[in-house]
A and B are shown apart, each in its own frame.
Chain A
Amino acid sequence: MIFAALVATGFVVAGVHAYYLLKESRSEFHRAAFTIAATLGCICIPLQVITGDLAARRVAKLQPAKLAAMEAHYHTANGAPLIIGGIPDSEQMEVRYGIEIPKVLSLLVGNSLNAEVSGLDKFPRDQWPNVKLVHWSFDLMVGCGVFLLFIAAASGYRLLRRRSIFQARWLLKLYLIATPVGLLAIEFGWFVTEFGRQPWVIYGIMRTGAAATPMPGLIIPFTVFTLIYIFLSVVLVFLLKRQFSFAESPELRKHHGT
């Protein structure tokens, strides 16, 4: 999660400064800020891929129902395929229109092309998570990560060829598009974690319904906290805009001799 947070913030900040760089590529302020943020994001995304893989292996061992739901893997099998996308159907226990890559799931989970991967059929039906939610969230999370990885690779390649990123408008545009992608990946990841663990709140021990508070009227605190978060986000955007306009202001330029 540490790397995920660094990736997300790195790309958010880089994306914001990429926006300003697309308007005015010479700005010292935005170049410096972009460099710091993009470096952080690009270094951490491959690290995140590694820790993500380790995390998935742990899930396969400790919460096999969650892994099965993540991968929309209904039938226990050796040599299990990796299913990307598609529409999982828990009634028929099949995935329609998915892209199947044979044997890869066994390889990822069990380190061998023919390792056994537990499917949802190993668990009682009332203990299945919502496979659609978990599988789609998982694929979206990975998709976001691959997109960011591509941007990191492209940036690294350009730097290896000693070409400036600031001249490559297509790459800056990619950074701009990538601004929310890291945060989205984190959100989808948390969806996988939380939806995938259902119906348990403590896996195998306590169901979520049993843990809920008996007090009524929870819509009120829910609304209050939502409003607070909205307020803080609006304020943050407002203040950042003020910071940027001040950083680019004529007084500061004169002071720095730009």
Chain B
Amino acid sequence: MELESLLSLVTLASLILYALMGGADFGGGIWDLVASGPRAARQREKISDAIAPIWEANHVWLILIVVLLFTAWPKAFAVIMTALHIPITLMLVGIVLRGTAFVFRKYDSKRDKVQRRWSQLFGISSAFTPIVQGMSLGALTTGAIRIKNGILDTGFFAGWLTPFAIGCGFFALGLFAFLAATYLTVDAEDDPALQRDFQIRALISGAALLPLALIVFLASKEGAPEMHSGLTAWWAPLLLAWTSVSAIIVFIALFLRKFRLARLAAIVQVTSILTGWCVAQYPHLLYPDLTITNTAAPQTTLRLLAIALGIGALVLLPSLYYLFYIFKRQPST
């Protein structure tokens, strides 16, 4: 397998892991923002407890994606970062505000109006950031961003303000909220009333995904023709099957209160969706001008990068496993 393809697989894996872990962080913030009902305070506390030990580690995957992009495909990095400068800056602002609001809320000593402001800031930035993230990813497939003589030709505003990209943004929002809700049903195992709250939220957000996905698919006909044809290619039914079946399993499992199964199925569902998106794009990084081969760094760089990733994985993966093991295993009663 060529190095470019191998590295793009690693990038896809990193994207999926970011969605599954960092995305759930954002989802937690969204539920924090709209916490309601008699148990709102307990919901917020449960979300905070779930996120607090691992949130910094979760966003490592985003950094990995960016680093992979600029090391392995520097020309693509230059164009994408310039063309999508505005949504990416907004994403950065959202991530920074969200992180600081979360930490300051947690470690600030007094419980007063200032604390509530931090909560609001945390919630709003958690809801806002997935939208611009989705918009950025969607913009890559619209074909509205073009280069001429190796330099970006279409300015700062092309691609990400199209209906398709905006649809992707809201779809990402719904996806992360849905994912977080399924995780939280498992995290709230010690509190049946709370668990029921999150069960309802998971069902609602999961159901909302269907119309959102439909909107994105319809928008892709005009807005992202390559994606549209990709979604109707030979392998598409397979991935579509994976997505649909896991979605159905999620709903059934939620109804039957088999929350661990629901969580697993939600993970499979998100993975299939992202894999589908990537495969529909392959081999383009930025449709239609940039592919993983015509923007790749020299072979030496790619080789060194692959080696570095291998060594890094040896350190990172066991550490991550250990982190989750300590903070996420259910206490034995």
Complex Cα–Cα for A217 and B155 (A): 11
CB pair B156 A217 closer than 8 Å: yes
Contacts of B100 in A (CB 8 A): 232, 235
CB pair B85 A221 closer than 8 Å: yes
Least distance between A144 CB and chain B CB atoms (Å) = 29
A159 within 8 Å of B by Cβ? no
A228 within 8 Å of B by Cβ? yes
CB pair A242 B89 closer than 8 Å: no
Contacts of A221 in B (CB 8 A): 85, 89
Least distance between B58 CB and chain A CB atoms (Å) = 21
The digit string for A33-62, where 1 denotes a CB below 8 A from any CB of B, is 000000000000000000000000000000
Known contacts: A213-B82, A242-B110. The answer to whether A228 contacts B96 by CB under 8 A is yes
Least distance between A229 CB and chain B CB atoms (Å) = 10
A224 within 8 Å of B by Cβ? yes
B-side interface residues, number (CB < 8 Å): 15
B104 within 8 Å of A by Cβ? yes
Least distance between A218 CB and chain B CB atoms (Å) = 9
A246 within 8 Å of B by Cβ? yes
A243 within 8 Å of B by Cβ? yes
Least distance between A122 CB and chain B CB atoms (Å) = 33
Contacts of A232 in B (CB 8 A): 96, 100
Complex Cα–Cα for A221 and B114 (A): 29
- A217 (CB) vs chain B CBs: closest residue: B156
Contacts of B82 in A (CB 8 A): 213, 215
Contacts of B151 in A (CB 8 A): 214
B49 within 8 Å of A by Cβ? no
B109 within 8 Å of A by Cβ? yes
Complex Cα–Cα for A235 and B85 (A): 26
Interface residues of A in 229-244 (CB under 8 A from B): 232, 235, 239, 242-243
Contacts of B104 in A (CB 8 A): 235, 239
Contacts of B109 in A (CB 8 A): 242-243, 246
Least distance between A36 CB and chain B CB atoms (Å) = 18
- A229 (CB) vs chain B CBs: closest residue: B96
Least distance between B220 CB and chain A CB atoms (Å) = 28
Complex Cα–Cα for A239 and B152 (A): 43
Complex Cα–Cα for A57 and B152 (A): 41
CB pair A228 B108 closer than 8 Å: no
Least distance between A209 CB and chain B CB atoms (Å) = 15
B93 within 8 Å of A by Cβ? yes
Contacts of B155 in A (CB 8 A): 215
Least distance between B258 CB and chain A CB atoms (Å) = 43
Contacts of A239 in B (CB 8 A): 104, 108
Least distance between B111 CB and chain A CB atoms (Å) = 11
Complex Cα–Cα for A243 and B96 (A): 21
The digit string for B98-127, where 1 denotes a CB below 8 A from any CB of A, is 001000100011100010000000000000
- A243 (CB) vs chain B CBs: closest residue: B109
CB pair B93 A228 closer than 8 Å: yes
8 Å CB contact of A242 from B85, B96, B108, B152: B108
Complex Cα–Cα for A246 and B104 (A): 15
Complex Cα–Cα for A140 and B108 (A): 37
CB pair B156 A215 closer than 8 Å: yes
- B151 (CB) vs chain A CBs: closest residue: A214
Contacts of B108 in A (CB 8 A): 239, 242-243
CB pair B152 A215 closer than 8 Å: yes
Least distance between A246 CB and chain B CB atoms (Å) = 4
Interface residues of B in 108-160 (CB under 8 A from A): 108-110, 114, 151-152, 155-156
Complex Cα–Cα for A246 and B96 (A): 26
- A221 (CB) vs chain B CBs: closest residue: B89
- A238 (CB) vs chain B CBs: closest residue: B114
Contacts of B89 in A (CB 8 A): 221, 224
Least distance between B100 CB and chain A CB atoms (Å) = 7
B85, B89, B93, B109 pick with most chain A CB within 10 angstroms: B109
Contacts of B114 in A (CB 8 A): 242
Contacts of A224 in B (CB 8 A): 89, 93
Least distance between B128 CB and chain A CB atoms (Å) = 15
The digit string for A198-230, where 1 denotes a CB below 8 A from any CB of B, is 000000000000000111010001001000100
Least distance between B77 CB and chain A CB atoms (Å) = 12
Complex Cα–Cα for A232 and B114 (A): 15
Contacts of B152 in A (CB 8 A): 214-215
Complex Cα–Cα for A169 and B156 (A): 57
- B114 (CB) vs chain A CBs: closest residue: A242
- B101 (CB) vs chain A CBs: closest residue: A235
Least distance between A249 CB and chain B CB atoms (Å) = 9
Complex Cα–Cα for A238 and B32 (A): 24
- B93 (CB) vs chain A CBs: closest residue: A228
The digit string for B164-204, where 1 denotes a CB below 8 A from any CB of A, is 00000000000000000000000000000000000000000
In addition to A232-B96, A242-B114, 11 A-B residue pairs with Cβ atoms within 8 Å of each other are A215-B85, A215-B152, A221-B89, A232-B100, A235-B100, A235-B104, A239-B104, A239-B108, A242-B108, A242-B110, A246-B110
Task: Name 15 A/B residue pairs within 8 A (Cβ), A-sorted.
Answer: A213-B82, A214-B151, A215-B82, A215-B152, A217-B156, A221-B85, A228-B93, A228-B96, A232-B96, A232-B100, A235-B100, A242-B108, A243-B108, A243-B109, A246-B109
* Chain A interface residues (CB < 8 Å from chain B): 213-215, 217, 221, 224, 228, 232, 235, 239, 242-243, 246
The 6 lowest CB-CB distance pairs between A and B, nearest first, are A246-B109, A215-B82, A239-B104, A214-B151, A221-B89, A213-B82
